[in-house]
Amino acid sequence: MAQSPINPLSAHHHQPQVHLEGSVERVTFHSPESGFFVIRVRVAGYQDLITLTGNTPSVTGGEYVEADGTWINDPRHGLQLKCHSIRTVTPTSLEGIEKYLGSGMVKGIGPHFAQKLVQCFGDQVFEVIEQTPEKLLELEGIGKKRLQLITSAWAEQKIVREIMVFLQSHGVGTARAVRIYKTYGEAAIETVQQNPYQLALDIHGIGFKTADQIALNLGIPAQSLVRAQAGIRHVLQELSSQGHCARPVDILIREAEKMLEISPDILQQALDAEVEEKNLIPDQIALTDHPDEQQAVVFLAPLYYAECGTTRLLQELQYGQPPWGQIRTDKAFEWLENQSDFRLSDSQKQAVEIVLANKVSIVTGGPGVGKTTTVNSVLRLLLAKKCRVQLCAPTGRAAKRLSESTGYEAQTIHRLLDFDPVEYGFKRNQDNPLETDVLVIDEISMVDIVLMNQLLKAIPPTGALIMVGDVDQLPSVGPGAVLADMIRSDVIPTGRLTEIFRQAATSAIITTAHQINRGIAPQKTPKGTDTDFFYIPTDDAETARSILLNVVSQRLPQKYGYDPIRDIQVLAPINRGGLGVRSLNIELQSLLNSNSYPQVTRFGWSWAPGDKIIQMVNNYDKEVFNGDIGQISTINPEDSELTATFDGKEVLYSFDELDEISLAYATSIHKSQGSEYPCVVIPMAMQHFTLLERNLLYTAVTRGKKHVILIGEKRAINMACRQTKARLRMTKLSQRLQD
């Protein structure tokens, strides 16, 4: 007769070791980051399934496990075996084999094909896949393509498991094992053993701390030069992700000392070595408050070369006659007015004159001041002069908007420069320049220093460049402050548009944005007001959160007919905290899309069809870029794949690539640059205080087309309107342009 486990806790406080063997019926939970698992196992001689917990790099349904551990009685989950060691063995029973193959661990075999394979090949199925895979073609539904998928996935799976075990043995989560394999192939373990710090440089999702833990576990001394060099470069890379191109040497050494606990002498040695290896470049930058005094700084090499290249190319491009020759502006304005029914304002005429008189120029101004009309006027004149004109913008959404507002085709910068994912570079450059006379870039405030340098390389020396953007918005996500630096240098002729047009002045979104820009905080919207901008002040963050959830899920859809997923975008200042992006996403997902199936859980998120997502890194193969927003259309557990739609384009992700996306019911204000949404909801609280700044609130408010709802603590919003330039980025572009 089958027995139930006696309660082993009643007898003794000191628990004896227990050895159990059985097949994994269900993986209740497994975190690839920490390795922690909860599994249900069928053990001979026990009537009920036994719950086992512990840590292992990977565990799959159907596997046979041998575990040693002690019984514990969990107050919530009852009796469990807490494993001190667990070994997984490939299953031998037919049922186990089917469950194992159907678990989705091998791409191309889901539950359906697992059943077919076991029916056909029985317990020989593993040997068949490994040694005579061509036999699989005998099965209906398996063609050459699926066979290729199965055999390569099987081989990959074996190596990935080795990498997982290696990482786990060094106390590191195994979620990125597939990426490590894809980056280094079969040499993965060897590469990591030689220089674990390489991981942090090469692999998305692996930071310095993870690499450092592996290094210390491999016996690399804490005070070693290799660790100090990696640490110094890491500190600079962290700063570049906050937008800085350089750091003063003394501050850099202090910061590295605090993070690494390495003596300053070794750090100075490491800095010298990095400079000698040309990873870092020393330079001097003038102090902001004492411009005649210089301070010693270091740049990450790519950022130094990008700044120098941008400077040289802008200066070279400024020389010579514009491709359209001389244009008499009084005649031009007369011609424009005969062509169309609008009149340009004085500041618009001035901006058009500046553009027509120079080969390189900037047009800047806030919302509603007529940047589009100004650009369209210039385009008409240049096209009448038979100039070849090309239009571009940093993101797909911004390019689409530019096309709509001008009536001419606009491309993303990456598409324009023809990015080659194989060579990982642009095909358009100095040797193969763009075939154009004039390049117009919109949303230039979003362009970082590296992209700016690449773009300038592709403009023919005889060509002209017109840059359009709003200098008061947040600077680019990537390093540099290109637009602000060019304007500050006074070297690039700039047309500033300041007058708000009559029809724009009736929009509270636009008038509020300009007030915020002048440091005036918005006032509470009176009840019953018919307006496009609402401000709901609250006393605390908790109230703000519950109002926000109600506004997004109920009030806005009911009053204005918005689709809460597609039309409404929540924009939060930071990722962490109760009013941060992460926590709002979890709440909004459960409010708006919790009943959708099938679901897949990877990298700490659960995904289902209908979920709104954002791409977090540039992926040139898929042609989706950091900040692009899409929606999941299908999830296919059989092939471990997810399909999402971005602006009408289908994009396929395998499950192990899902760390490239994040939920996007709420996104950070930084990620929203260059995008517009029908309706924007902005929470602000004192928990965001480190980031509260005028350009942040201004950027958020200017993202809304039809409605903007600002909800938050009065103190926080007043603070955001007051704070400016708290964190000027450390760059040298304006100084280089002046020199």
370 is an annotated ligand-binding site residue: yes
Residue-level pLDDT at 3: 42
Placement of tokens 């709104």 in the chain: 612
Q: Which CATH number fits domain 18-142: 2.30.30, 2.40.50, 2.60.40, 3.30.1760?
A: 2.40.50
Residue-level pLDDT at 531: 93
Placement of tokens 């194992």 in the chain: 100
> 462-475 burial by CB neighbour count: b if 16+ within 10 A, else e?
ebbbbbbbbbbbbb
Instruction: Please state the rounded mean pLDDT for residues 196-222.
Output: 87
Determine contact, residues 417/430, Cβ cutoff 8 Å: no
Structure token pair of residue 521: 């905080």
Residue-level pLDDT at 11: 39
Neighbour tally for 241: CB within 10 Å: 11
- 484 CB contacts (<8 Å, ≥6 apart)? 445, 471, 475
- H or E segment and range at residue 718: helix 714-722
Give the range among 99-113, 487-501, 671-685, 693-707 with minimum mean pLDDT: 99-113
For the cut 50, the answer to whether the pLDDT of residue 7 exceeds it is no
Structure token pair of residue 610: 């209908």
512 is an annotated ligand-binding site residue: no
Residue-level pLDDT at 675: 85
Placement of tokens 């636009």 in the chain: 510
Average pLDDT, the chain: 89
Q: How many residues does the chain have?
A: 739
Q: Sheet containing 666-668: which strands, arranged edge to edge?
A: 533-538, 704-713, 677-684, 568-572, 666-668
Residue-level pLDDT at 735: 94
pLDDT grade for 1, boundaries at 50, 70 and 90 = very low
% the chain with pLDDT above 70? 97
DSSP single-letter state for residue 386: T
Question: Per residue in 354-374, pLDDT tens?
Answer: 999 999 999 999 999 999 999
Question: What number does CATH give the domain 320-499?
Answer: 3.40.50.300
- The rounded distance, in Å, linking the Cα atoms of 354 and 306 is 27
Placement of tokens 């950027």 in the chain: 699
Question: Per residue in 588-618, pLDDT tens?
Answer: 999 999 888 888 888 778 899 999 999 988 8
Question: What number does CATH give the domain 507-722?
Answer: 3.40.50.300
Structure token pair of residue 247: 């750091």
Pinpoint the residues of the chain covered by CATH 3.40.50.300. Answer: 320-499, 507-722
Question: Per residue in 319-364, pLDDT tens?
Answer: 999 999 999 999 999 999 888 777 888 999 999 999 999 999 999 9
469 is an annotated ligand-binding site residue: no
258 is an annotated ligand-binding site residue: no
Question: Per residue in 44-82, pLDDT tens?
Answer: 888 889 999 998 877 888 888 889 999 999 888 888 999
pLDDT grade for 576, boundaries at 50, 70 and 90 = confident
Cis peptide bond prior to 678, omega within 30° of 0 = no
Question: What is the chain's percent helix, strand, coil content, to nearest 5?
Answer: 40, 25, 35
Q: Dihedral angle at the C-alpha atoms of 475, 477, 478, 483, nearest 10 degrees?
A: -20
371 is an annotated ligand-binding site residue: yes
- The rounded distance, in Å, linking the Cα atoms of 405 and 415 is 20
Question: Per residue in 123-182, pLDDT tens?
Answer: 888 888 888 888 888 888 888 888 888 888 888 888 887 877 787 777 676 777 777 888
Calculate the CA 689 to chain-centre distance: 23
Strands 389-393 and 438-441, sheet pairing: parallel
Nearest to 112 by CA among 155, 141, 136: 141
Helix axes 581-592, 541-550, angle to 10 degrees: 30
pLDDT grade for 726, boundaries at 50, 70 and 90 = low
